[in-house]
Amino acid sequence: MTYRAPIDDILLSLNHGAGLQAAVAAGHLGDYDSEITAQVLEEAGKFAGDILAPLNRVGDKHGIELKHNKVTTAPGWPDAYQRWVAAGWNAVSGPEEFGGQGLPAALNAVCTELWASSNMAFGLCPLLTLSAIDALHTHGSDELKTIYLGKLVSGEWTGTMQLTEPQAGSDVGALRTRAERAADGTYKIFGSKIFITYGDHDMTDNIVHFVLARLPDAPAGTKGISLFLVPKFLVNADGTLGARNDIFPSGVEHKLGIHASPTCTMQMGDQGGAIGYLIGEENRGMQCMFTMMNHARLGVGLEGVGIADRAYQQALAYAQERKQGRAIGSTGTGSDPIIKHPDVKRMLLTMRALTGAARTICYATAVALDIAARSSDPKVRAAATARAALLTPIAKAFSTDIGTEVASLGVQIHGGMGFIEETGAAQHYRDARIAPIYEGTNGIQAIDLVTRKLGANSGESVWALLGELDGIIKDVEASNDPAFGATGPRLRDALDALTRTSKYLLEKLGSSTNDALAGATPYLRLFGATLGGCSLAAEALAARNLDGVAEPARYVTLARFFAENVAVQAGALERNVVDAATGLQGADAVLTA
Amino acid sequence: MTYRAPIDDILLSLNHGAGLQAAVAAGHLGDYDSEITAQVLEEAGKFAGDILAPLNRVGDKHGIELKHNKVTTAPGWPDAYQRWVAAGWNAVSGPEEFGGQGLPAALNAVCTELWASSNMAFGLCPLLTLSAIDALHTHGSDELKTIYLGKLVSGEWTGTMQLTEPQAGSDVGALRTRAERAADGTYKIFGSKIFITYGDHDMTDNIVHFVLARLPDAPAGTKGISLFLVPKFLVNADGTLGARNDIFPSGVEHKLGIHASPTCTMQMGDQGGAIGYLIGEENRGMQCMFTMMNHARLGVGLEGVGIADRAYQQALAYAQERKQGRAIGSTGTGSDPIIKHPDVKRMLLTMRALTGAARTICYATAVALDIAARSSDPKVRAAATARAALLTPIAKAFSTDIGTEVASLGVQIHGGMGFIEETGAAQHYRDARIAPIYEGTNGIQAIDLVTRKLGANSGESVWALLGELDGIIKDVEASNDPAFGATGPRLRDALDALTRTSKYLLEKLGSSTNDALAGATPYLRLFGATLGGCSLAAEALAARNLDGVAEPARYVTLARFFAENVAVQAGALERNVVDAATGLQGADAVLTA
Q: Alpha helices of B322-341 — where are they, by DSSP H?
A: none
pTM: 0.97
Question: How buried is residue A536: exposed, middle or buried, by Cβ count under 10 Å (0-12/13-18/19+)?
Answer: buried
**pLDDT confidence tier of residue A272, bands split at 50, 70 and 90:** very high
CB B53 within 8 A of CB B1: yes
> What is the Cα–Cα distance from A341 to A380, expressed in whole angstroms?
49
How much is the CA Rg of chain A, to the nearest whole Å?
24
CB A7 within 8 A of CB A73: no
**pLDDT confidence tier of residue A290, bands split at 50, 70 and 90:** confident
CB A103 within 8 A of CB A92: yes
Residues of B in Cβ contact (< 8 Å) with A565: 575-576, 579-580, 583
CA dihedral A562, A563, A565, A571 (to 10 degrees): 130
For an interface test with A, the pick among B346, B354, B513, B539 (most A C-beta atoms closer than 10 Å) comes out as B346
Q: What is the DSSP letter of B36?
A: G
A241 has a chain B CB within 8 A of its CB: no
CB contact under 8 A, A513 and B328: yes
The two beta strands, B70-72 and B65-67, are antiparallel
A448 has a chain B CB within 8 A of its CB: no
Residues 346-405 of A with CB under 8 A from B: 346-349, 352, 404
- CA end-to-end span of chain A: 44
Choose the catalytic residue: B303, B439, B564, B574: B439
A510 has a chain B CB within 8 A of its CB: no
Chain A's closest residue to B263, CA to CA, is A420
> What is the Cα–Cα distance from A433 to B501, expressed in whole angstroms?
34
For an interface test with A, the pick among B579, B582, B588 (most A C-beta atoms closer than 10 Å) comes out as B579
pLDDT for the residue numbered A325: 87
Residues of A in Cβ contact (< 8 Å) with B329: 514
For residue A589, the distance in angstroms to the closest alpha carbon of chain B comes to 6
For an interface test with B, the pick among A170, A256, A444 (most B C-beta atoms closer than 10 Å) comes out as A256
CB contact under 8 A, B571 and A568: yes
A484 has a chain B CB within 8 A of its CB: no
CB contact under 8 A, A587 and B557: yes
DSSP assignment of A472-495: HHHHHHHHT-GGGTTHHHHHHHHH
- Answer whether residue A457 shows pLDDT above 90: no
> What is the Cα–Cα distance from A569 to B576, expressed in whole angstroms?
10
Residues of A in Cβ contact (< 8 Å) with B319: 591
Nearest alpha carbon to residue B444 among A208, A344, A593, A170? A344
B174 has a chain A CB within 8 A of its CB: yes
For residue A343, the distance in angstroms to the closest alpha carbon of chain B comes to 6
CA distances from A262 to A64, A194, A357, B338, B429 (A): 6, 11, 31, 28, 22
CA distances from B333 to A172, A217, A444, A591 (A): 17, 21, 22, 23
DSSP assignment of A546-561: STT-SSTHHHHHHHHH
Chain B's closest residue to A420, CA to CA, is B255
Contacts of B381 (CB under 8 A, 6+ apart): B371, B372, B373, B375
A256 has a chain B CB within 8 A of its CB: yes
pLDDT for the residue numbered B1: 64
> What is the Cα–Cα distance from A562 to B72, expressed in whole angstroms?
49
For an interface test with B, the pick among A120, A513, A557 (most B C-beta atoms closer than 10 Å) comes out as A557
Residue range A424-439, pLDDT digits in tens = 999 999 999 999 999 9
B57 has a chain A CB within 8 A of its CB: no
Residue range A299-344, pLDDT digits in tens = 999 999 999 999 999 999 999 999 998 888 887 778 899 999 999 9
Chain A's closest residue to B310, CA to CA, is A593
- Answer whether residue A486 shows pLDDT above 70: yes
CB contact under 8 A, B420 and A4: no
For an interface test with A, the pick among B312, B338, B411, B591 (most A C-beta atoms closer than 10 Å) comes out as B591
For residue B561, the distance in angstroms to the closest alpha carbon of chain A comes to 5
B158-283: CATH architecture: Beta Barrel (2.40)
Please provide the size of chain B in residues: 593
CB A39 within 8 A of CB A73: no
Q: Average pLDDT over chain A, rounded to whole?
A: 96
Chain B's closest residue to A343, CA to CA, is B518
pLDDT for the residue numbered B238: 92
Return the ∠ at Cα B14 (arms to B8 and B17), rounded to 5°: 100
Chain A's closest residue to B514, CA to CA, is A328
For residue B175, the distance in angstroms to the closest alpha carbon of chain A comes to 11
What amino acid is encoded at A512 in this protein?
S
**pLDDT confidence tier of residue A1, bands split at 50, 70 and 90:** low
Residue range A351-379, pLDDT digits in tens = 999 999 999 999 999 999 999 999 999 99
Nearest to B316 among A430, A485, A593 (CB): A593
- Answer whether residue A293 shows pLDDT above 90: no
pLDDT for the residue numbered A524: 98
Locate the domains of chain A by residue range. Answer: 158-283, 443-583
φ and ψ at A481, to 5 degrees?
Answer: -90, 115
pLDDT for the residue numbered A333: 78
B195 has a chain A CB within 8 A of its CB: yes
B421 is catalytic: no
Residue B155 host element (H or E): none
CB contact under 8 A, A514 and B342: yes
CB contact under 8 A, B324 and A404: no
CB B324 within 8 A of CB A440: no
Nearest to A408 among B257, B404, B560 (CB): B404
> What is the Cα–Cα distance from B349 to A341, expressed in whole angstroms?
36
Chain B's closest residue to A197, CA to CA, is B416
CB B55 within 8 A of CB B20: no
- CA end-to-end span of chain B: 44
CA distances from A5 to A82, A309, A401, B97 (A): 22, 9, 22, 64
B281 has a chain A CB within 8 A of its CB: no
pLDDT for the residue numbered B548: 87
B485 has a chain A CB within 8 A of its CB: yes
Chain B's closest residue to A323, CA to CA, is B167
pLDDT for the residue numbered A593: 62
> What is the Cα–Cα distance from A122 to A198, expressed in whole angstroms?
10
Choose the catalytic residue: A165, A439, A539, A564: A439
CB contact under 8 A, A316 and B593: yes
Per residue of chain B (593 residues), give pLDDT as tens. 689 999 999 999 999 999 999 999 999 999 999 999 999 999 999 999 999 999 999 999 999 999 999 999 999 999 999 999 999 999 999 999 999 999 999 999 999 999 999 999 999 999 999 999 999 999 999 999 999 999 999 999 999 999 999 999 889 999 999 999 999 999 999 999 999 999 999 999 999 999 999 999 999 999 999 999 999 999 998 999 999 999 999 999 999 999 999 999 999 999 999 999 999 999 999 988 888 888 899 999 999 999 999 999 999 999 999 999 888 888 877 889 999 999 999 999 999 999 999 999 999 999 999 999 999 999 999 999 999 999 999 999 999 999 999 999 999 999 999 999 999 999 999 999 999 999 999 999 999 999 999 989 889 999 999 999 999 999 999 999 999 999 999 999 999 999 999 999 999 998 899 999 999 999 999 999 999 999 999 999 999 999 989 899 999 999 999 999 999 999 999 999 999 988 898 999 999 86
Long-range contacts of A137-142 (CB under 8 A, 24+ apart): A137/A95, A137/A98, A138/A288, A138/A291, A139/A227, A139/A279, A139/A280, A139/A287, A139/A288, A139/A291, A140/A229, A140/A279, A140/A280, A141/A277
Size of interface A-B (CB pairs under 8 A): 280
For residue A149, the distance in angstroms to the closest alpha carbon of chain B comes to 30
CB B343 within 8 A of CB A446: yes
Chain B's closest residue to A175, CA to CA, is B324
Residues of B in Cβ contact (< 8 Å) with A560: 583
- Answer whether residue A273 shows pLDDT above 80: yes
CB contact under 8 A, B4 and A325: no
Chain B's closest residue to A400, CA to CA, is B412
